[in-house]
Chains A and B, each alone.
Chain A
Amino acid sequence: MKKQIIVFVFGMLLLSPAFAAGTHYEMRVDGLACPYCAYGIEKKLKAIEGTDKINVDLNKGLVKVNLAEGKTLTDEQMTKLFNDSGFTYRGMKKTPLDK
């Protein structure tokens, strides 16, 4: 019985990334020069349901965010979001989180 429990728990641990699956987005954004000014981006991304782990790489002009499974971000949505934040959106790269 003890052995079966250990196998079950181990199996659940192996499967857990699949439950946390989602998408990692990297957005290329121009105009990012100061960290203080980028706060508006964080605030607006946080307002989108399912976003997590928002970060900004100012030197590379990248805004990174994880998005929960079943949710998507579109170019149109990001163009508006970054324009409302005072910056210029250039494009995005998507990577599945469970790979």
Chain B
Amino acid sequence: MKTNYLTGLSIVLLTSAMSQIAWAHDPIFGVGPHVLFKDGFEVATEVESDKAGDAKEQALALEVTYGLTGDWAIGVDLPYVFKEEGNNSSNGNGDAGVFTKYRFWRKDSLGLQETAAVLLKGITNTAADNKSPALDKGTTDAILGLTYGYEGRKWYRWASARYRFNGTNDAGIDRGDKILLDFVGGIRPNPTGYKEVDIVWLLELNGEYGQRAELGGAELSNTGGTEWFVSPGIFWTKRNFAIKAGVQLPIYHNLNGNQQDSDYRAKMVFEWHL
């Protein structure tokens, strides 16, 4: 029972930032309202590296998205995770995710697009189990989000809010839900033409608030809390190929009890539209 409890708690502490969806010209760490053209495919490989104290996590993910209509897309992501805690390390399949995004509002004008979308993601419980450190969280989670985007020839801005419904894991721990907020600005210094290399610089402000986890109705002290990050990033695109990269740097921590603050999170995405 004690082993189960400790395993369960370590899974709670695994904040699983590795659940982000890459979408075309959307923020690197936040989300935006971009979808995909009808019958189009987006194939992306994503590398992410997180560090918090002596806990390190790297993930390599394959994401495939399909455009059902010009405003509605669905997809899957399949991560492979490498995890390190102190002297222990493990690796294996992470939790596969399925997601959808629907752009319910679009206002187009010359060289400008303003849009809003809702998104839903299910994070399955398919990660490799019996690993130490644990790779699985022992439950299925869901993320519901709302996002707005302004995309001009020179300036970009986005805002989004997401609510993550975290389930109760095998050890009986109710992992506590999470709220994620993102405010992002971007600039294209040189508005280039079609088929030319295009570069957009981004600056994101990402906030995360996690509720305390509970076991048998009692709150667990070393769980939950708030963190804010400032995250510079870049889009590099040429026709139907994109490279996106960014790093999250913590600017504020208020984690409950004795938890390791995030040191950084870095991400790089290679993406094709087919």
Residues of A in contact with B (beta carbons under 8 Å apart): 30-41, 43-44, 55-61, 83-88
Contacts and interface: CB of A to CB of B under 8 A. Distances in A.
Contact of B37 (A33, A55, A57, A85): A85
Contact of B34 (A37, A55, A57, A83): A37
A58 B38 contact: no
A33 B40 CA distance: 19
17 contacts: A30-B108, A33-B112, A33-B151, A34-B151, A36-B25, A38-B194, A40-B36, A40-B37, A40-B273, A41-B37, A43-B37, A57-B194, A58-B153, A58-B193, A60-B110, A84-B70, A86-B106
Chain B interface mostly: loop
Interface size class of B (residues with CB under 8 A): 35 or more
Given A33-B111, A57-B193, A85 B239 contact: no
Scoring A43, A56, A58, A88 by chain B CB atoms within 10 A of each residue's CB, the highest score goes to: A58
Contacts of A86: 35-37, 70-71, 103, 106
Interface in B24-69: 24-25, 34-40, 67, 69
A55 B194 contact: yes
B87 interface: no
A84 B36 CA distance: 9
A67 to B, nearest CB: 19
Nearest to A55: B194
Nearest to A85: B37
Nearest to A28: B110
Nearest to A47: B39
Contact of B153 (A36, A38, A59): A59
Nearest to B195: A35
A13 B70 CA distance: 45
A45 B196 CA distance: 19
B108 A31 contact: yes
Interface in B204-235: 235
A47 to B, nearest CB: 9
A40 B111 contact: no
Contacts of B67: 40
B109 interface: yes
A5 B70 CA distance: 56
Contact of B198 (A36, A43, A59, A61): A36
Contact of B108 (A56, A57, A87): A87
B239 A36 contact: yes
Contacts of A33: 111-113, 151-153
Given A33-B151, A86-B106, 7 more contacts: A30-B109, A34-B188, A36-B24, A38-B194, A40-B38, A58-B153, A88-B108
A61 B110 contact: yes
Contacts of A37: 24-25, 34, 151
B167 interface: no
Contact of B193 (A31, A35, A83): A35
A35 B112 contact: no
Contacts of A35: 192-196, 198, 237, 239
A40, A41, A59, A88: residue with the most chain B Cβ atoms closer than 10 Å: A40
